[in-house]
Each structure stands twice: as C-alpha cells, then as structure tokens.
Amino acid sequence: MKCLLRWRVLGLLFFMLPFLLGGCRDSESQAEPGKDRDPVKVVKVDVVEVKPAPLEDVLVLPGETEAWQDVLVAADKNGRVEWIGPREGQEVKKGELLARIDVSALKTIISRAEASAELTKDLYDRRKTLFDRGIVHKEALERARTDKALAESDLVKAKVEYDRGFPHSPITGMVNYLHVDEGEFVNRGQPMVELVNVDKIKIHVNVPELDVRYLKKGQAVMVTIDAFPDLRLKGMVDFVSYKADPATKTFRVRVLINNASHEIRPGMIARVFFLRRMIPDALSAPLFAIMDKGGERLLFVEKDGVAHARTITIGVIAGDRVQITHGLKPGDRLIVTGQRDIEEGMKVQAQ
C-alpha cells in the first residue's frame, strides 16, 4: 500500500515538472536587465562652428534735430508795420527786405541833417581858402572842420535810424513764423520774423565720459531718423565739448548731416551711431544662445554627441551678437537651438 502511494506522488511530480520549469523561465525572462528601463533621451540641437570674425563696437545715442541756422528777427525801431514781404513757408535770400516800419517822421530829420552837412562843408571850404591866403587864423579853420565833422556824423546817425525801419534777412533760409501783421504797432526788440536754414541739420547728443575718448572732429557717423525708419544718413562729428556737464557727467557732441531736400525737419528724434573701435578677430555668439543659470552666463557646446556647459565672460554687444572674451575657443561647436532643453553631459544629436 505504501509503495502504491509513493508511485502516485512521483507520477504527479513528473507530470507537473514541465509547468514548474516553464514558470521559472518566465520569471527569469521578466527579470532580464533593461527590459523595463526607458531608453536614453537624445535631444536634437543645431550647432555652428565658432570662428574669429571682425566685430564693430558701435555706440548708439539719441538726439534731436536742429536747424543749421535759426534766427529771430526783431524790430529795431518803434512804429507801425506798413508792409510785410515774404510769407510763412517762403524762401528768402540774405539781405532781402522782410518788412517796412513807418519811419516817415525821420525823413524830416534826414533832410535837416543833409542841409546842415552841406552848409558846414561850404563854410569849411571858404575858410580853407581864406586860411591858405593867410586871412583867417588856424583856430577858425579847425572850428569849421569840427562843425563839418559833427554835421556829417548827425547825417549818418539819422540815416541809420531811418534804415532801422527796414529789417532785412540776415541769412538765406525759410520763413518759419510771422509774429506780426500789417498795421500792427511794434516796439524795438519785439519779435517779427522767425527764419530757419535747414540745408544742414545739427544733432546734439550727450556722450558718456568713458566713450568720449573714441570721438573726434571730422569722424564719420551714421544717423537714423525715427520718422523715416528706412533712411540711413551719413553724418560727421562737428564738435566735441572739452568740458563735461557737471550734472550728468556727459560731453556734448554736435553732428552735422546734409539736408538738401529739406526732408528732415528740426525737432525730430534722431539716433547717431558712433564706431568706437573695430575688433578684428572676435569670438562671438548670438545673444539668444546665452543661458543665465544661478547668476552665471553659460553657453553649451557639443563634442562627440555630448553637451558641455561653458561659463563665459562677455565683451562688446553688436546688434544680436555678443563678443565672448572667455569660455569659447575657435573650432568649438556652439549649440544655438535646443540649449534650453539640455544639461551638462546629456547626449545630443546635431542637426
């Protein structure tokens, strides 16, 4: 009986052996390393090779356009305005008559002065003849000469006063504004006509003390006008102040541009581009490629499919590029896109 029971147990074990072995194999296959792990992440990036290239150090400063000449002609005589010549917007030449002020009362004074001058001249001529003949003394001749000189001086003075009623243009330019109308009474010193010459335009900018050393008279510059965004104008440094503004510690610099078409008007916002220096073999990178992590500026470079972070020092900023003075070397493969998705030592795929 016991033998029969033993054989039944052995038979049952023999029958279940294949199932037990299959379960072990399944457990072993599930325990194979790497089957349940995620594959290593590879980030696609764009790279450019770092090469030395010239870089311009440009200083851009704002300013306001001004007329080359801006003159306010004032009345030089009290009186009523009888006539106004050129109107607003018209061009005038230097010396052209602008207006007439009533000075008719001065005509009588001029007539009297002319008569007095003529009389004293005749008297002097007669006494000179008598003196030459020895009939009159030298004192009488000198007195006649003095009277003649005084009368001539009074005539000149009367004519000057008369001419003050006829203001003339001191420059060639445009009438920008008339301050008086015909028939209006004006006093001496009262503004009458505003004249501007815009054949050239002045632009004044305030240059920081650290940059003024790069500027000198005659230096070429580029100028843009906000009102004409597509316009690029050639200008020239006309003056560099020798003394700084005590409040701002900046130096006043005057730039001139030609304006033959009169397209640029005084009062417009301008921007002046000064070339401080040219860096012939600069290593540079796009501004957008630079990362700021923990207060450090970083760039990523790719080498053998791995990203490496570089701590950098920047120099000149020119447009959308920045000079890298420390942290890059020629031949580095700089990562310019995808750098925000990577860390030091990550695998990358350059496209």
- For residue 317, what is the domain's CATH number? 2.40.420.20
Q: Is residue 234 situated within a structural domain?
A: yes
Copy the structure tokens of residue 243. 């003394």
Cβ atoms of 310 and 277 within 8 Å: the answer is no
Domains: count for the chain: 3
Q: What is the pLDDT of residues 189-245, one digit of tens each?
A: 999 999 999 999 999 999 999 999 999 999 999 999 999 999 999 999 999 999 999
Name, in order, each residue with C-beta under 8 angstroms of 296's C-beta and a sequence gap of 6 or more.
311
Reported pTM: 0.68
Q: What is the pLDDT of residues 1-40, one digit of tens each?
A: 444 445 454 454 444 544 444 544 444 444 444 444 445 6
Q: Is residue 81 situated within a structural domain?
A: no
User: Distance between CA 181 and CA 83 in Å, rounded?
Assistant: 8
Cβ atoms of 342 and 41 within 8 Å: the answer is no
Domain boundary among 280, 314, 336: 280
Which residues constitute the domain of residue 245?
A: 60-67+197-280
Alpha-carbon distance values, 290 to 25, 112, 188, 251, 331 (Å): 54, 88, 67, 34, 18
Block residue for tokens 């009367």 = 158
Do both 333 and 298 map to the same domain?
A: yes
Do both 269 and 344 map to the same domain?
A: no
Q: Is residue 185 situated within a structural domain?
A: no
CATH at residue 234: 2.40.30.170
Domain boundary among 145, 163, 181: 163
Do both 201 and 244 map to the same domain?
A: yes
Q: Is residue 22 situated within a structural domain?
A: no
Q: What is the pLDDT of residues 135-193, one digit of tens each?
A: 878 888 888 889 889 988 988 988 888 888 999 999 999 999 999 999 999 999 999 99
Domain boundary among 118, 142, 163: 163
Copy the structure tokens of residue 194. 């505003």
Q: Is residue 338 situated within a structural domain?
A: yes
Average pLDDT, the chain: 86
Residue 109 region by backbone torsions, left for phi larger than 0, else alpha for psi between -120 and 50, else beta: alpha
Do both 146 and 205 map to the same domain?
A: no
H/E stretch holding 105 = helix 105-132
Q: Is residue 46 situated within a structural domain?
A: no
Q: Is residue 275 situated within a structural domain?
A: yes
